[in-house]
Amino acid sequence: MSEIILEARDLAKDYWMGPSRLRVLQGVSLSVPRSEFLCILGPSGSGKSTLLHLLGLLDRPSVGRVIFEGEDAFAQPKRWRDRLRNQAIGFVFQFYYLMPDLTVLENTLLPAMIRTPLIRWPLARRAHRQRAVQVLEDLGMGHRLQHLPRELSGGERQRVAMARALVHEPRVLFADEPTGNLDSVTGGEIMRVLQGLNRKQGLTVVMVTHDERVAAQAHRVLHLADGRLLHDA
């Protein structure tokens, strides 16, 4: 049996709408073995993104625990979770979320720039840049290094977002509807990249989507409805 890299135990998440409580996730438990391509499928409003944010340590659950590589993430200090997001986790979002003022190369270098102090940058820059250029070239973006995000197409932006998520060689990649904002051809290309990374490099991928055709390409699919997991497909 493969090692469990990520585990959720009885997760719940509440939002407060004035005086009334809205429970968007309830009793969600799951385990993700290393190198698995897991897809969480559900209709809009089912709590997929909320679950992904909790698993990716972007948000704190109201109830339950997230175990990352055997450590209870929310029992650790916030600094520990920040470092984990910077060094062990990659995110790809539906709307790319690239920094509009930075070039393609700078966007890709962002995780390295977050963890490197200015005094070390002159020595570290060359290695980081080489790695970023390599990843961008692998994703077919080597010719757009100095471009701003607004000068790119949707598919190109998503490739840059993927480069940024992969540049620091994360152990888990979280993808929130990565093809949701793309046409079918470009979406297919993005999925092929994700599958390739999972197969060739053994990257653990956790993806949420509402598209069953996209979900079909994963190793395992979990259905989420009204904040509860239904069953494994």
Partner 1 sequence: MTYELLATPWGILAVGVAGLLALGFGALILWTSVYKHVICWRYLFGGWKAVVPLISALPAALGVFLLILVFAIMDGFAHETREMTRGTLADVIVDSHMEGLPYYDDFIRQVERIKGVETATPIIQTYAVARVKPHREMYPGVGLMVKPIVRPCQIIGIRAAEKVEMGRFKDYLLRQHSDRYPTDRLLDLPPEFRKTDPPHATCIAGIGLIGIPRAEEVFKPVKQGAGMQVLAFTVAGICLIALLFIWRVARRRLEGRSLSLGRGIVWGLTLWLVLLAAGAAADLLLTRFAAGGWGRTLVTYVFIAPAALAAIVALACTLAGPVYGIARWGTLKQKERPGWLVATAAGGLVVLVLGGAGMFWPVAEVEVQSKDVVDFPLLDYGDDLVVSTIPVTPKGAFETEIGGVPKVSSRALALVDTFKSKFWEADSTQVYVDFKVAQQMAGMEAQPATDDRPAVPARCSQVQIKIADPTQGRLIRDRIREAWRTFASEHRDIGILNLAFNTWEDQQKMILTVVEVEKNITALMLGLMFLGFGVLTALISYVMAYIKSRDVGILKALGARDAGVGSLFLGYGFIIGLIGTAIGLVAALLMLHYLDAIEIWVNQTLHIDVFPREMYYFESIPQHLSPLWCVCVCLGVLALSTLASTAGGLLAALKQPVETLRYE
Near partner 1 by CB under 8 A: residue from 3, 117, 123, 126: 117
Q: How far is the CB of 102 from partner 1 (least distance, A)?
A: 6
139 and 147 Cβ atoms separated by less than 8 Å: no
Please state, in angstroms and as integers, the Cα–Cα distance from residue 72 to each residue in 82, 192, 197, 213, following that order. Answer: 14, 33, 27, 34
The residue type of 91 is: F
Nearer to partner 1, 54 or 229 (CB): 54
Q: Does 102 bind partner 1 (CB under 8 A)?
A: yes
56 and 89 Cβ atoms separated by less than 8 Å: yes
Count of residues in contact with partner 1, rule CB under 8 A? 41
Q: Does 99 bind partner 1 (CB under 8 A)?
A: yes
**Residues 42-71: x/- map of binding to partner 1 (CB under 8 A)?**
-------x---x--x-xx------------
Near partner 1 by CB under 8 A: residue from 31, 62, 76, 86: 86
Q: Based on the number of CB atoms within 10 Å of its own CB, is 116 exposed (0-12), middle (13-18) or buried (19 or more)?
A: middle
- Going by C-alpha positions, the residue among 199, 192, 189, 193 that lies closest to residue 219 is 199
Near partner 1 by CB under 8 A: residue from 46, 94, 179, 209: 94
Question: What does the alpha-carbon distance between residue 127 and residue 117 come to, in Å, rounded to a whole number?
Answer: 15
Token pair recorded at residue 7: 């585990």
For residue 2, give the DSSP letter.
P
Q: How many residues does the chain have?
A: 233
Q: Does 115 bind partner 1 (CB under 8 A)?
A: yes
> Could you tell me which stretch among 66-74, 91-99, 192-200, 201-209 binds partner 1 (CB under 8 A)?
91-99
Q: Does 148 bind partner 1 (CB under 8 A)?
A: yes
Question: What residues make contact with partner 1 under the rule CB under 8 A?
Answer: 49, 53, 56, 58-59, 78-79, 82-87, 91, 93-95, 97-102, 106, 110-119, 121, 145-148, 151, 164
